[in-house]
Chains A and B, each alone.
Chain A
Amino acid sequence: MNLYKHILMAIDTITHSEETMDITREFATSEGARVSLLYTLPHLEAKGMGYLLPSIQEIESRIVETARSRLAAAADEHELGDADESVMLGNCHDNILETALSKNVDLIVVNNDHQQATLISDAPCDILAVRCQ
Chain B
Amino acid sequence: MKVYQKIILAVELDPSCDTLTTKKAKALADEFGAELYLVHAIEHMSSYGAAYGVAAGADIEEMLLENASDSMKKLGSELNLADNHQVIKVGPARTIILEEADRIGADLIVVGSHGRHGIRLLLGSTANAVLHGAACDVLAVRLKED
Contact = CB atoms under 8 A, between A and B. Distances in A.
- Chains A and B are bound partners: yes
A129 B134 CA distance: 10
Nearest to B130: A129
Interface in B101-146: 113, 123-124, 127-128, 131-132, 134-142
Contact of B31 (A30, A126, A130): A30
A60 interface: no
- Of the four ranges (under 10, 10 to 19, 20 to 34, 35 or more), the interface on chain A belongs to 20 to 34
B89 interface: no
Nearest to A125: B142
Label chain B's interface by main secondary structure.
mixed
B137 A128 contact: yes
Nearest to B125: A117
B1 interface: yes
A23 B27 CA distance: 16
Contacts of A30: 31-32
B136 A120 contact: no
- Of the four ranges (under 10, 10 to 19, 20 to 34, 35 or more), the interface on chain B belongs to 20 to 34
Contacts of A123: 113, 142
Contact of A129 (B27, B124, B131): B131
B124 A121 contact: yes
A128 B138 contact: yes
A131 B135 CA distance: 7
A2 B141 CA distance: 15
13 contacts: A3-B27, A30-B32, A112-B134, A112-B138, A116-B140, A117-B128, A120-B113, A120-B124, A120-B131, A120-B140, A121-B113, A127-B113, A131-B137
Interface of B: 1, 3, 24, 27-28, 30-32, 113, 123-124, 127-128, 131-132, 134-142
